Amino acid sequence: MGKSVFSRRAVLVGFAAGCAAIAIERPLLAQGTAAFPFKFSGFIGQQLRAPALAIPSYQLTFFTAHQSTAVGSIEARSRLTVTLAGVDEADMRALTEEAFEDFKTRLVAAGFAPLPAAEIKAAIQASGTAYALGNRDFKGIGAGITIGKSVRKAYVAYGAQEAPLIENLNSVVPGNSLSVIGGLGKLNQMSGPAKKLKALLITPSLVIDFANSDAKTGSDFLGRKKAVSSSDVGFTVVSSSKAGLMTPSSDGRFTTPGGMGLTKDYRVASPFATVAVGEGKVRALSVKSVVDSNYSINDTARGDVIAVDPVVWKELVRGAYQAFNAGIVAELVKAKK
């Protein structure tokens, strides 16, 4: 079925004025059972072979808010902030523990025996690599200047208790080169533990989003400037999900860093949330309101709440981590043959 688009504001100010619009698309209709046919790339089978296997870190990351801003001119500007609601830290930590236990169970069933958590932690800490404070990482949406358009996101990440989150190890924002470089630096710090343990270090990181937000600028058919901020609600496993790898060789004398990354974003059509229009917080733009062609005053910024159905959302998360874990284990089995 087609997507339903809700457009709340379209502002035109005189013949030479601009247009500001804020739109949000409603949840997609169900299309059968949610499925995640994950495919990984960026590695070779040799990187998945070692005398032993260790899981220093296992994390789940959840995007919690988006802020889309479009600026076409002084009068043509819009901002839409969407915020996730209906689940809390306890829910996310519990799902992270579930996901890690599922991963270990699948490894054992496939004939792998991960090294004990205490042994792994001792090797990681001896290398000087620090685990994240409170076994979590979070990023909010701060103030900033937008020239043209921008999409900023907030997220929170949690590690499993036995495999805590390693600070700055995994980039969760696709295309963020600085985070990627920092992540490689952290991954290289685990060369020592891989040599000491003589084990393949594998650090899965699953990233989950709740919407696809966008910001656009341009002109309408009369040449008037316009600015559109939008958010399309949909449960998505983000392409920055991956499993970092550090592979020892020559009896632990050398190591090779690498990673198994998803080839694309994976989005399912199952409805899992409702949209409370105007019920969320939003940072006001420098121009707080504009006048449309009917001389009505409209705000240029809006905050909406994406209220999830906890039962449905959790089952989608479980489907995602089960498929993610199964995909990693399948690659390990393939490499062992």
* Secondary structure of residue 182 in the 3-state scheme: helix
- Helix then strand then coil, in percent of the chain rounded to 5, is 25, 40, 35
Which pair of structure tokens corresponds to residue 75?
A: 């009068």
In a domain, 228, yes or no: no
* Spatial distance between the Cα atoms of 313 and 317, rounded to a whole number of angstroms: 6
72 phi and psi, to 5 degrees? -95, -35
In a domain, 24, yes or no: no
Range of the domain at 103: 30-69+87-212+233-273+310-336
In a domain, 280, yes or no: no
* Secondary structure of residue 188 in the 3-state scheme: helix
Task: Tell me what pLDDT residue 217 has.
Answer: 79
Q: Tell me how long the chain is.
A: 337
- CA proximity to 66, closest of 119, 1, 2, 140: 140
Task: Tell me what pLDDT residue 1 has.
Answer: 32
Cβ pair 102, 110 in contact under 8 A: no
Residue 296 has a CB neighbour count (10 Å cut-off) of: 11
In a domain, 82, yes or no: no
Angle, alpha carbons 288-293-296 (nearest 5°):
50
* Domain count along the chain: 1
- Kindly give the confidence (pLDDT) of every residue in the chain, 337 residues in length, as a single tens digit, with 9 standing for 90 and above: 333 232 333 333 322 334 444 554 444 433 333 468 999 988 888 888 888 999 999 999 999 999 988 887 766 778 888 999 999 999 999 999 999 999 999 999 999 999 999 999 999 999 888 899 999 999 988 777 777 777 889 999 999 999 999 987 877 766 543 344 344 555 677 888 888 999 999 999 999 999 988 878 777 776 777 777 778 899 999 999 999 999 887 776 778 888 899 999 999 988 999 998 888 887 777 666 655 554 455 667 788 899 999 999 999 999 999 999 999 999 999 988 6
In a domain, 221, yes or no: no
In a domain, 296, yes or no: no
Residues 6+ apart with CB under 8 A from 93: 158
Helix or strand (DSSP H, E) at 331? helix 310-336
Which pair of structure tokens corresponds to residue 234?
A: 């949909």
Strands (E) across the chain are located at: 5-10, 19-25, 40-41, 52-54, 59-71, 77-85, 136-139, 149-159, 199-219, 225-237, 242-249, 254-262, 266-267, 273-276, 289-291, 297-299, 301-308
In a domain, 179, yes or no: yes
In a domain, 156, yes or no: yes
Which pair of structure tokens corresponds to residue 121?
A: 């932690």
